[in-house]
Structure 1
Amino acid sequence: MAIKLENVGIAVRDLEAAISFFTDLGLTLVGRDTVRGEWTDTAVGLDGNHANIAMLATPDSHGHIELFEYLHPAAIESTPVRPNEIGMHRIAFSVDDLDRALEVAARHGCRPLRGVATYADTYKLTYVRGPSGILVMLAEELKKPALQR
């Protein structure tokens, strides 16, 4: 059986703010739609499902994020996930200039949770709290790791 990752779906409170954040980081908006009807009720498992959605792609077109702003049923606010909680955790991006990426994030009111760290002289990385409380990891490769993934 062949398998590939299609996208990561993220429910957001403000679709425009989330699109702005991710496009400023370098993703491209590839499509928008409003979805509703029996097919969405069945696929998502929510009666009366109605949402505005946007699909964004990384510059290499291998990674996609689908953002959802629920109109019905009403979105449920929750406490933003912490890095050590079980479940969906974060979205991570490789960037070629972490300082520049953090400047972009700061324009959206997003700052590192604690600071910038260096892992084994290989990566400089940090977590920021993005729009709607989304945890976003940004990592700049400093040199190729000895063990390739």
Structure 2
Amino acid sequence: MPIKLENVAIAVRDLEATIAFFTDLGLTVLGRDTVSGEWADTAVGLEGNTAKIAMLQTPDGGGRVELFEYVHPDAIETEPTLPNEIGMHRIAFSVDDLDEALEVAARHGCHPLRGVGTYGDIYRLTYVRGPSGIIVMLAEDLRKR
């Protein structure tokens, strides 16, 4: 059976702030909408749900991120996940210049969890805590230098 990853969806507390973070990193907004109705209730499994959504795409066109902010029912705040917790872990992006990407992240108040590491002679990488507590991995391929 052929299978293709369509997108990764992330619930956020502030859609506009999260869009700003990801677009500053280089993603583009493909579309926005507010969704609700019987089809949404059925697909999502929440009665009477309404959400503002945005679909973003990476510059290469290969990756998509769907962001959604619940209008109804109220969003449930949780503690941000830790790197070793079971469940959805992080979203990862390769970047041409890690230092530049970290400057962009810092403008949004997002900083490395600990610092920048180097994996052999292959990657410089770090995890930052993004909007709504999302863990975002940023990695620069050192072999492209």
Counterpart of 2:103 in structure 1 is 103
Runs of 4+ in structure 1 deviating by more than 2 angstroms, as ranges, are: none
SS in structure 1 at match of 2:118: strand
Distance in 2 (alpha carbons) for counterparts of 1:96 and 1:31: 26
> Which residue of structure 1 lines up, in the alignment, with residue 122 of structure 2?
122
Give how far 1:10 is off. Answer: 0.1
| 2:15 equivalent in structure 1 | 15
Gap runs ≥5 in structure 2 = none
Query: How far does residue 143 in structure 1 lie from its aligned partner after superposition?
Result: 1.4
**What is residue 79 of structure 2 aligned with on the other side?**
79
Q: Which AA in structure 1 matches 2:19?
A: I
- Shift, 1:70, TM fit: 0.1
Q: 1:1-149 alignment to 2 at 5 Å?
A: 1-143=1-143
Q: Deviations over 1:89-143 (max 9, x none)?
A: 0000000000000000000000000000000111000000000000000000001
Q: CA deviation at 1:72?
A: 0.6
CA distance in 2, matches of 1:57, 1:141: 20
Q: How far is the alpha carbon of 1:55 from its aligned partner?
A: 0.2
> Secondary structure in 2 aligned to 1:18?
helix
**Separation (CA, whole Å) in 1 of partners of 2:79 and 2:94:** 26
RMSD (CA atoms): 0.7
**Count of aligned positions:** 144
> Could you list the per-position Cα deviations for residues 43-79 of structure 1 after superposition, in whole angstroms to 9, with x for gaps in the alignment?
0000011000000000011100000000011000000
Which residues of structure 1 form unaligned runs of 5+?
Answer: 145-149
Letter in 1 for 2:57: A
Q: Which residue of 2 aligns with 1:147?
A: none
In the aligned structure 2, how far is the partner of 1:123 from the partner of 1:56?
25
